[in-house]
């Protein structure tokens, strides 16, 4: 089987690529990535010389490039993870999110559709990886299910909702064999430090302020990235065509409680007095359109395909901290650009 994995140099994508390359030595895995600020081939240095792995630099927004790639490689399947994914950046530049997340996805769908109709085609599945943010926000109770209506509130979530709708439209209209999954907030190794947990790990290590939106009362369901990669593996190989699955970690936490736990863990890891790192917490003006609560009901995935998360949030967070502290070179390299200045400006302006 020859599989194209898009966005495979990014956070989640790199874990999926590594899992598939190592677990399925008879598969040919092509990793397509534009290598934006969040794409990093250092994430895959341990498998870059594997005989069943190939990296391809390219942009899914370039339709001609995508069509030629499909024509040349005759892929059996696509696992589509390439996306602009940070809400703050989508607020600052929504067009970039429309181009990558919507137009890029449609380019891939068109190429797969064209490829499917060819006599020599062995195309079997287009797997689109999405987010729970397409569902909008929840109150104090309830959970997102696969039947929850879409209600996106940010340019990021709107662009992902649009891409989901196009995937389903290509299934309904052209009979393209698709599956979709919507996951909760991921965390773990190799996460670019613009997101909450890796940003705060970096700032705690360097005794910088920990900027928390509002009062820190927003609730997220946290999913360890390696558990997500395993869920993608299960869904890719076993889900029926046309199905959608929610993937959640069964770990609902308020943002402020996440950071307090992180501070406690890093007090111990860094040999600091208990409570030292909590003093770095700084509340800042809330993000525009900030959803209050996300929570995933992943019971369909458990019932149909026997998947459950393997680590608790406490276990996963400690493993994450250990990885960042042991990989200081990686962290220093990805933070050596302008991102810190960008975020200081963003938090100040909000």
What distances in angstroms separate CA 280 from CA 87, 212, 337, one per listed residue? Answer: 23, 10, 23
Q: Which is the catalytic residue, given 156, 170, 213, 224?
A: 156
Q: Catalytic: 53?
A: no
End-to-end CA distance of the chain: 48
44: nearest Cα among 26, 34, 31, 57:
31
Query: Which long-range contacts link 232-237 to residues 24+ away (Cβ below 8 Å)?
Result: 232/16, 232/79, 232/127, 232/129, 232/181, 233/16, 233/19, 233/20, 233/23, 234/301, 234/305, 234/306, 234/307, 235/127, 235/179, 235/181, 235/301, 235/305, 235/307, 236/77, 236/79, 236/125, 236/127, 236/179
Say how far apart CA 146 and CA 138 lie, in whole Å: 15
Residue written as token pair 């069943």: 52
Q: Catalytic: 132?
A: yes
Say how far apart CA 136 and CA 151 lie, in whole Å: 5
Q: Which is the catalytic residue, given 133, 164, 226, 227?
A: 133
Alpha helices in 24-103 (DSSP H): 63-73, 87-92, 94-97
Q: Which is the catalytic residue, given 33, 59, 88, 132?
A: 132
Q: Catalytic: 33?
A: no
C-alpha triplet 4, 8, 12: angle, nearest 5°:
125
Residue 216's region, left for phi above 0, alpha for psi from -120 to 50, else beta, is left
The distance from CA 258 to its chain's CA centroid, rounded to whole angstroms, is: 19
Positions marked catalytic: 132-133, 156
């Amino acid at each position: 089987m020859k599989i194209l994995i898009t966005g495979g140099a990014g956070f989640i994508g790199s874990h999926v690529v590594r899992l598939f390359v190592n677990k399925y030595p008879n598969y040919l895995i092509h990793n397509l990535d534009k290598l934006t600020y969040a794409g990093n081939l250092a994430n895959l240095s341990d498998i870059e010389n594997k005989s069943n792995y190939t990296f391809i630099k390219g942009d899914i927004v370039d339709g001609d490039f995508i069509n030629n790639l499909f024509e040349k490689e005759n892929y059996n399947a696509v696992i589509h993870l390439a996306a602009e994914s940070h809400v703050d950046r989508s607020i600052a530049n929504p067009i970039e999110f429309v181009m990558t997340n919507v137009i890029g996805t449609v380019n891939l769908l068109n190429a797969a559709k064209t490829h499917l109709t060819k006599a020599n085609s062995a195309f079997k599945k287009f797997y689109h990886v999405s987010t729970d943010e397409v569902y909008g926000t929840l109150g104090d109770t309830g959970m997102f299910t696969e039947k929850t209506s879409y209600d996106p509130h940010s340019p990021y979530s709107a662009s992902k909702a649009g891409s989901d709708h196009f995937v389903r439209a290509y299934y309904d209209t052209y009979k393209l064999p698709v599956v979709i999954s919507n996951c909760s907030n991921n965390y773990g190794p190799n996460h670019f430090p613009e997101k909450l947990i890796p940003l705060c790990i970096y700032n705690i290590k360097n005794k910088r302020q920990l900027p928390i939106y509002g009062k820190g009362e927003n609730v997220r369901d946290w999913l360890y990235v390696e558990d997500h990669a395993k869920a993608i593996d299960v869904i890719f190989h076993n889900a029926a065509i046309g199905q959608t699955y929610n993937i959640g970690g069964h770990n609902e936490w308020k943002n402020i409680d996440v950071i307090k736990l992180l501070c406690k863990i890093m007090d111990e890891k860094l040999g600091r007095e208990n409570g030292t790192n909590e003093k770095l917490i700084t509340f800042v003006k809330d993000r525009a359109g900030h959803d209050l609560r996300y929570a995933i009901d992943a019971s369909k995935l458990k019932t149909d395909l026997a998947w459950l998360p393997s680590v608790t949030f406490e276990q996963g967070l400690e493993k994450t901290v250990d990885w960042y502290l042991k990989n200081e070179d990686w962290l220093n390299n990805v933070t050596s650009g302008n991102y810190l200045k960008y975020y200081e400006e963003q938090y100040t302006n909000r």
